[in-house]
Amino acid sequence: MANEREAAIQQLRDVGLRVTSPRLEVLQVLTASGHLDVEELTAAARERLGTLTSQAVYEMLRHFLDTGLVTKFERPGWPAVFELSGPPHQHALCVKCGRVENVVHEAPTPPRKGLKGWQVNDADVVFKGLCPDCRAA
Average pLDDT of the chain is: 91
Q: To 5 degrees, how large is the angle CA 127–CA 130–CA 131? A: 95
Kindly report the CATH number assigned to the domain that includes residue 95. 3.30.1490
Residue predicted with more confidence, 124 or 53: 53
Same domain, 50 and 98: no
Same domain, 79 and 119: no
**SS3 readout for 43-70:** HHHHHHHCCCCHHHHHHHHHHHHHCCCE
Q: What is the DSSP letter of 36?
A: B
Q: Is 105 annotated as a binding residue?
A: no
Residue 1 has pLDDT above 70, yes or no: no
Q: Is 131 annotated as a binding residue?
A: yes
Q: Is 30 annotated as a binding residue?
A: no
Same domain, 22 and 77: yes
Residue at which a domain ends, from 51, 67, 84: 84
Q: Is 91 annotated as a binding residue?
A: no
pLDDT of residue 2: 66
pLDDT digits (tens, 9 = 90+) for 83-136: 999 988 899 999 999 999 999 887 777 777 778 888 888 788 899 999 999 999
pLDDT of residue 7: 87
Same domain, 33 and 78: yes
- Its domain, for residue 103, covers 90-136
Same domain, 112 and 72: no
**Confidence band for 59, pLDDT divided at 50, 70 and 90:** very high
* Domains: count for the chain: 2
